[in-house]
């Protein structure tokens, strides 16, 4: 399974998406050719790109690289890592009875992705993470990752894995929730505050 790493407004995959996909295709071959799940709509704060989504653009590239089209499954509604886990659970692996996932993402994103997938999918799923090494990570990306992981810990820390975590998302997430506690601007502000908090501060993950 590949988590989308970005797409531009013309519908072209960003480098992170392409790199993750290449690694996942190689892993798929090494594992004997299991189905390839591609997850991602477009960025959390971005307008919808013209004519496609991250997952659909990755599918086109994967098929062009030789992956059989009938072995590719796409999820196109998610706008962030929480959405990746939520919609893959509800639309892909749950209905098909799949219980073993190898999740491919960038190494800087690995800690947050693993935390979210284990919390949202729950104990009935076996999740293996595979990090893709990229270039040097900017300070702003490091702050964002720390802040988002801290916010996810705040949301999920007091509930059980699986259905309880899904209920939290469907209640409070700015995009997926029925009664969001914050909008996207609020989320961005809180993530920045949490991401800038010293590692030894109270409440830091």
Q: How far is it, in rounded angstroms, from Cα 78 to Cα 60?
A: 18
| Predicted local distance difference test score (pLDDT) of residue 205 | 34
Q: What does the pLDDT read at residue 52?
A: 95
Q: Sheet containing 100-106: which strands, arranged edge to edge?
A: 72-75, 36-39, 2-3, 100-106, 126-132
What's the CATH number where 120 sits?
3.40.50.620
pLDDT digits (tens, 9 = 90+) for 45-88: 999 998 899 999 999 999 999 999 999 999 999 999 999 999 99
Report residue 103 as tokens. Answer: 């999740």
Mean pLDDT by 10 residues, the chain (205 residues): 95 95 97 97 92 96 97 97 95 96 96 96 95 86 94 89 88 87 91 81 39
User: For the chain, what is the domain count?
Assistant: 1
In a domain, 77, yes or no: yes
SS3 category, 164: helix
Q: From CA 65, how far away is CA 12, in angstroms rounded?
A: 16
In a domain, residue 203? The reply is no
> Is the distance from CB of 205 to CB of 149 less than 8 angstroms?
yes
| 71 found inside a domain | yes
Can you point out the beta strands (E) in 45-119?
72-75, 100-106
Structure tokens at 150: 């801290």
- Residue 203, pLDDT score: 41
**What sections of 122-203 are H helices per DSSP?**
139-156, 163-172, 184-196
Q: Is residue 205, in this structure, part of any structural domain at all?
A: no
Nearest-10 crossing angle of helices 139-156, 163-172:
110
Residue 151 covered by a domain: yes
pLDDT of residue 92: 97
Q: Quote the pLDDT of residue 199.
A: 56
**Pairwise CA distance, residues 137 & 148, whole Å:** 16
What pTM does this model have? 0.92
Does residue 201 lie within any of the structural domains? Answer: no
Whether 204 is covered by a domain: the verdict is no
202 part of a folded domain = no
The residue segments making up the domain with residue 78 are 2-196
**Per-residue confidence (pLDDT) for residue 198, from 0 to 100:** 66
Contact criterion met (CB below 8 Å) for 103 and 130:
yes
Helix axes 184-196, 139-156, angle to 10 degrees: 110
Tokens 């790199």 locate to 19
């Amino acid at each position: 399974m590949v988590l989308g790493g970005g797409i531009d407004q013309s519908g072209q995959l960003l480098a992170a998406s392409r790199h993750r996909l290449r690694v996942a295709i190689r892993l798929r071959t090494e594992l004997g050719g299991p189905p390839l799940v591609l997850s991602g709509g477009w960025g959390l704060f971005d307008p919808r790109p013209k004519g496609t989504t991250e997952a659909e653009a990755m599918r086109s590239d994967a098929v062009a690289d030789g992956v059989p089209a009938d072995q590719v499954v796409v999820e196109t509604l998610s706008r962030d890592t929480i959405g990746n886990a939520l919609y893959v659970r509800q639309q892909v692996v749950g209905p098909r009875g799949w219980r073993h996932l190898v999740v491919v993402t960038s190494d800087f994103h690995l800690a947050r992705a693993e935390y979210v997938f284990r919390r949202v999918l729950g104990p009935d799923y076996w999740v293996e993470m595979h990090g893709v090494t990229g270039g040097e990570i900017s300070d702003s990306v490091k702050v964002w990752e720390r802040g988002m992981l801290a916010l996810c810990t705040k949301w999920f820390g007091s509930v059980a894995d699986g259905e309880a975590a899904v209920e939290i998302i469907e209640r409070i997430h700015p995009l997926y929730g029925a009664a969001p506690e914050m909008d996207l601007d609020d989320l961005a502000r809180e993530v920045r505050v949490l991401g800038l908090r010293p590692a030894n501060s109270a409440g830091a993950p």
